[in-house]
Structure 1
Amino acid sequence: MSDSRRFADPRPNQMMAGYMVLATVGLVLIHQADNSRWLQLGVTLALFLGLVALSIWLMQRYRRRWHQGQATVAQWQAHSEAFFAAHPHPMWIWQPEAGQMLSVNDAALQLYGYSQSEFLSLTLEQLRQAAPPNSERKSEPGVEHHCTVGGACLTVRIQTTPYVYQNQTAQLFWVEDLTQQDETLAQLRTKETQYRMLASNFPHGAVMLYDQNLRYTLAAGKQLRLLQADSQPLEGRTVTEAIKPDTSQRLEPLYRKALSGESNTTELPLGDRTYLAYVLPVYDAEGAIASGMSVTQDITDHKQMEHKLQYYAFYDQSTQLPNKIWFLDYLEDKLQACQSGVAGFFSIFFLELERFDSVKYSLGHQWAEQMMLATADRLTNCLNLSEPVSRIGDHALALILSDLHTSLDANAIAEYIHQQLNQPLEIDDQELFSTVTIGIAILDSPELVEQLPADVIQAADTAMNYARMMYLSHAIFEPSMSEQAVGRFHLETNLRWAIKREEFTVFYQPIISLRTGQLVGFESLIRWQHPEMGWIAPSTFIPVAEETGLIGLIDWWVLGESCRHLGQWQRQYQQPLVISVNASGALLSQFGFQERLRQVTLGNRLRRGSLKLEVTERVMMEQHTAATGLLSQIKNLGVQLSIDDFGTGYSCLERLHQLPIDVLKIDASFIHRMLEDQDSLEIVHTIVALAHSLSMDVLAEGVESQAQLAQLNCLACDYAQGYLFSEPITAAEVEALLAKNWQPPGVILETAE
């Protein structure tokens, strides 16, 4: 059914039909009237009734149209309300006369955070708040600042339009949220401010932003003038327009790479300064590349410091000699040149300065460093080296000799080095002697030059240690030395365990007076009994102990045991026995040695003068400056002193009269040869005469025959020890010997006329 029929009323139609019938009757009367009166009556009736019928028809038509209009209005209003509720923009309907909210859509509720009932109870004044002090939209038309339910400030643009809501005249408020836009603008301004502040605070740099066309949008910094092609500002001009040509040619490719997402750095030499340019992309909030940025910083001081650090990394700071890192790099280049056939075979010389520590601890660290430098200078001059000598350790030097690859030549050069270094070094009007032990690694085959640099140095170092162990001046590396080095390492490990497990034993060898033929004392001799390897000779482990510094611990233990036994024997047997104990340089140089020695002698109640410390000539020479004072302090404790192995390798003759020495011990090697070798006999005779001229006693060690004893008696030697009288014995055997008042066998009391 159509809307017009649905809204039609049947009663007006019936009335109109009746009037139409009456009008028809009037027309009939007009037609049949025979006089004018009836005619007039009929016409009047017909017209009246026709007008009535027409009016009814028109009223019916208007009513039908009115109902159709009402339906259209209701339908439009329903569509309008649905559109209002679902619109993504925040909107509400406000009735100004009543001053109240009529409706609000979901978008507005979501923006402001209110529930529908809460929002409809608000007024416009409750939504609005004062503009923030930093707002740039204070005077912009239509812009207001609203408050959310949480108190946050919103910047919105309001548009209003008249609106009919439920037959009420109202206003429709259309809201555009500008908050995010303002925050983005504020962030951009903040970033720009930060960039400018960053640039202005660069003491030696600049910050520049550029767009997709390589046009500068920001340029600030104290060093822009060095980049500018002219005095005009950089902002608003492209890199090729604003920057010096040589610099822009280097920057432009980097700028374009940054706009494609690639960051780069480059160094820019500008005048006498060096700058580092760091070029990187700048992303917007969506992650797209919006522009590029170039940060330029003066790194001249940094580069200079870098050069200094590089120098520090490759050169020793005390002597300014190249260090081990430099030498390894140089050696690697030599090996590669040799591998490629550019250079020939060569040799490495590893030199250990034997007297470095003695000079350092006696004269001072600076003297030792000067001795190291003077030694390197002499090597450079005497060998005419093209590359400097390197310091590869605390007391070690290294050098490379090109085209030297035979043992004969290497030995000859090593002997020549020793000859040159036997000459005194003049340092601040002071003469110093720089004794070295040399290890040599010869690279004379393609296989050997394939080694790593560190392995080559290790080979030369191993040869040097082998030379020291064998008391040689130099040695050339052989593969077997590595095996010995491994064995030496295991020996060191076992030696450390031996100290902890107390695997050592002190043996005592009797000392006989050649004047009386009586036992006067003993020399303490250490022995090591390993639980698996059995007895290990002192000649095997003492050099390792000296090299590793363990000798100091061993000496203290031997000294303590010897003093303990001597104190017991003195008290038990009432004999004026003397005991001799070896004292290494490591023991004498220990801090607080004199006080500890005093405590040992007093703690064991030793008779004054009954303890004798034996010091080698080598220790005397290495610590010659401090020796006199140190030995005098030891003498003040009532401890006697003797020089062990006198006449072997080192000579302290010129200073012997200055030292508070009681006894000179003649080395066994002279005693063994003196009957067959006239020179050895003359040496023994000279030592005895020298000692007596200085009011010193003489002790001969290693006496094994009656003939040797007779010769010593003829030379007026004072004391002797050796296997002729007794081999070294244990403490228990000493007690048995003392208990029976032992007399040494075979003593002939004869003296020279």
Structure 2
Amino acid sequence: MTSLESWQESTGLSSRPLERALQFKRQLLEHVLEHSLELIMVTDANSIIQRVNAAFTHITGYSAEEALGQTPRLVQSARHSPDFYRQMRMQLQDSGSWSGQIWNRRKSGEVYLQWLTINTLTDDDGEITHRVAIGHDLTAIAGPKRERMLFTFKDPLTQLGNRQLLTSRLEQALAEAERNQIEVGLMVLDIGRLRPVNEQLGLTWGDDVLRQQARTLQAAVDEADTLVRLQGDQFAVLRHSRAQNTAMAQLADKLLGLLAQPIVLADQNVVSLQPSIGIANYPRDAAESTGLLQAAEHAHAMAKRDGRNRFQFVDQREHVLHHRELLIEQGLYHILNTGTGEGLSLHYQPQVCPDTGTIRALEALLRWQHPQLGAISPGEFIPVAEKNGLSVRLDRWVIEQVCAQVAQWQYHYSRLPVVSVNLSAQQFGQADFSDWLQACVNEAGITANRLKLEVTETTMMEHKDSCVAMLKRLRRQGFCISLDDFGTGYSAMSCLHRYPLDELKIDRSFMVEACHNTRAFVLLKTIASLAQQLSLSLVVEGVEQASQLALLRDFGPLTVQGYYFYRPLSVTDMTALLADRQP
């Protein structure tokens, strides 16, 4: 007797449900394809059109019979350079997809703007079998949606590309350059001193100048170049070929001459501008798009700094330093905005009475282990913080950490030296600082006399009035005030009586000089005598050897700070030292 399975197999009934499911899917796909409002075109691996839908015929005017067997060149316009299509092919090869705005042509000859998305289909072995293009006719889209799509890559004022277009093209250009081992050139330029035009003639005329200069640039660059407006009066030129130094210099010289020509406005005003150009090269100046743009922008800034009406290639040494400064700046922003303190830590260096070895104070010193740059000296990152307006926030972060640490030590130990913190000059422009500081110590549960505030001589002299007023408030609140780095700035001894000081701190350079220079030694001793007469405590920095300590033997009461006694100690080591010195 034949089994049920054998009977089903012989009659073919077992495969009918699967066939019906496949047939349903084909019918569903066919329905979606034919009723879609979006143009759909399917090509094989050789870019031969295999299938189009009804929307394709409606939008382009070409019937299926006219399109099948052709290539997508059937609908190409003359609006794009060969480089545009070459970059499209490169991106398809690299990522399997491409999307963006493109000008295509209908059968009638009308050129229309389309948003096109192309995806690649592969078989089980990863071989390309088909590509599917889906297009939106932007001329048929009304309202805000169309406006957003139209301006995705276009600057509305000049009708050039924008920064987003440059970013897209730059990625494609560098991918091609890497494959073909060729160079890519990038210029960043400004037309020069547009602000006076805006201020004196008005923004309308300023916009007119921008449009005229944009047309000048468009006529001057090669068709294969990518020209965009970055922002304001800044433009960029991406050169995919002939990017060697000589060719880039020739183009830059040509652009400088054209952009510097006087411009006659409609109201007969004549405007003369002073353009500047920065030039970067891949792979010499950077290995990726963001770095290349930063390099060109920095070279542009150097050209402006050095007098305008000139072009500047990337100075590798300056560029490396500039890039390092950017990393430091970005790292500080991240730390201060997230509040994590990532990589930042405090060390403490004792200030010692040389006669007894007693620790009289601790100076809090900031250290930073950058995730990319490694250990960075405060002498490098603090000036960056000051330059970028971050020093106030950095100071306050340090003070908060110090207050919390002092509170912790105070809880465990009965004898605790005062802890000093350094204040930046910008802190004296903050009207709320004294109130904030008082609130900070109150919240930590410590008193004001636990902190010593170090202010440099230069800061005091540059901010005389505001500095004196704030220091008087802080001193009334109970904080100790120390004049740091004395002798390195103005050395205005006659003004010392004006400042509410408790301590003078002599810079380490005096100690170094005093070892082999009699005059420096006499000056050091004179400062020590002056401090005593003004009833100021004295701290001498930079004591690293027994011979240096011996020089200070007859100076009277003072405190020393330096490697001879202690290097800066981590919190763990400082805690152990404090514990060891408890009664």
* TM-score normalised by the chain length of structure 1: 0.37
TM-score, normalised relative to structure 2: 0.47
Greater length-normalized contact order (CA 8 Å, ≥ 6 residues apart): 2
